[in-house]
Amino acid sequence: MAEETLVLFKNIRNPKYDKSLAGYKRSGGFKSLKKVFGMKPEEVVQEVKESGLRGRGGAGFPTGLKWSFMAKGTGKPSYLIANADESEPGTCKDRELMLKDPHLFLEGLMISSYAIGCHHAYVYVRGEFFPSIKTLNAAVGELYADGLLGPDPMGSGFNLDITIHTGAGAYICGEESALLDSLEGKRGQPRVKPPFPAVSGFNGCPTSVNNVETLACIPFILSDGGAEAFKSFGPQNNSGTHLVSLSGHVNCPGVYELRMDVSMKDIIYDIGGGIRNGKKLKGVIPGGSSSPVMKADEVDVLYNFDDLAKIGTMMGSAAMMVFDEGTDIVKLLHRITRFYAHESCGQCTPCREGTHWSSQIIQDFLRGNGSDEKLKRLYRVGGNMLGTTLCALGDAAAMPIQSFVNKFPEEFRKYYATL
């Protein structure tokens, strides 16, 4: 029977845990930071590489490798930006970390800053996360008061400042280059790449943008024996635990910390308590609204980056949205397409027009005016967005459209016009 493996949520699951700096220190906090100050930055990067940590924001790119791409010898400062603009529908894991154990995340941010030679790190937080913003500001204040931030923390000779910056609610600012533009005071829009942020990011300087959960993994990895232990929590190339946002028609929705060798079926039925009201499973959106949908007969697969990719979908932000046999697929897809139409920045024509027209076509189905030709047109509009935009929002809008049409065509036929 599947159960949680507590690494990131070890403190959070303790009902007596005090999330203050004093409480975090009592739980063993900042021991990894002290150890790291006795290491060379390149040794820290190598340790993260050896742990196999992959980014938890959606792309799954190896974190240590990403850090190694940072431009060196430029004469410019390096920056680390924590992407806390958690906006993918169904995803709520980073909010849990920031709200309930902020110092774990901040210790990871501090270690990571040391690793890449960053002396001023930023946390870009989704503007609607008012409680998290309040908690983070209080936690950063504690660190300054204790001497862990500012000049020479722990006598290390390394200076570090952290600034909490709030966004304004735009989904597009979760894309790292749009986030950087927003942080610079510009309209948040994806940049043309190359150059990539590691070469020219915040204010034209070498920059690494990392997800909150990714950074929260760092203190454990840099603890004694942590890198090897982290690798043991999943199959090859899928190291560590992962925070899974489980929602939809399950009896026990919530955020759970799981190994990457647990199957989706076990997550739904063991962790989630099965489908509510005794109904049957119809399908799952496995990694946030942008990931291709899966049918009920496909969920007996390990929930990790590579196993999901093999069957044509992705883990993304690890937001599993479960829906039962009573779900109207066309209405569900319409909600998804409306979201992307609203959140498209409008910079790229395929995305701007494609998200709008896909929503309109599905609306036509819901009025009872569907047809084979309109279904083909909907699929074609999705295809026109794939790989044709500056950022992945076009793909994010297209993949649900094409996968829903491929896997549930009969659901659309219910809305065909009758003569």
8 A C-beta contact, residue 255 and residue 92:
yes
Q: Which helix (H) or strand (E) holds 340?
A: helix 329-343
* Residue 334 φ then ψ, to 5°: -65, -40
CB atoms within 10 A of CB 318: 29
pTM: 0.95
Q: Does the domain at residues 243-324 carry the CATH identifier 3.10.20.600?
A: yes
DSSP 279-298: PPEEEEE-SSTTSPPEEGGG
Tens of pLDDT, residue by residue, the chain (419 residues): 889 999 999 999 999 999 999 999 999 999 999 999 999 999 999 999 999 999 999 888 999 999 999 999 899 999 999 999 999 999 999 999 999 999 999 999 999 999 999 999 999 999 999 999 999 999 999 999 999 999 999 999 999 999 999 999 899 999 999 999 999 999 999 999 999 999 999 999 999 999 999 999 999 999 988 899 999 998 999 999 999 999 999 999 999 999 999 999 999 999 999 999 999 999 999 999 999 999 999 999 999 999 999 999 999 999 999 999 999 999 999 999 999 999 999 999 999 999 999 999 999 999 999 999 999 999 999 999 999 999 999 999 999 999 999 999 999 999 998 75
Q: Which helix (H) or strand (E) holds 231?
A: helix 226-231
Which segments of the chain belong to CATH 3.40.50.11540? 21-231
Burial class (CB in 10 A: 0-12, 13-18, 19+), 46: middle
8 A C-beta contact, residue 371 and residue 199:
no
Cα–Cα dist 347/354, whole Å: 12
Which segments of the chain belong to CATH 3.10.20.600? 243-324
State the architecture of 329-413 in CATH terms.
Answer: Up-down Bundle (1.20)
81 contacts: CB under 8 Å, gap ≥ 6: 121, 122, 123, 124, 176, 179, 180, 183, 201, 202, 207, 208, 209, 210
HSE-up of residue 49 (Cα within 13 Å, Cβ side): 13
Give the model's pLDDT for residue 275: 98
Which segments of the chain belong to CATH 1.20.1440.230? 329-413
Give the model's pLDDT for residue 304: 96
88 contacts: CB under 8 Å, gap ≥ 6: 58, 171, 174, 288, 289, 290, 316, 317, 319
From the list 95, 97, 298, 359, the residue with the least C-alpha distance to 216 is 97
Give the model's pLDDT for residue 351: 97
State the architecture of 21-231 in CATH terms.
Answer: 3-Layer(aba) Sandwich (3.40)
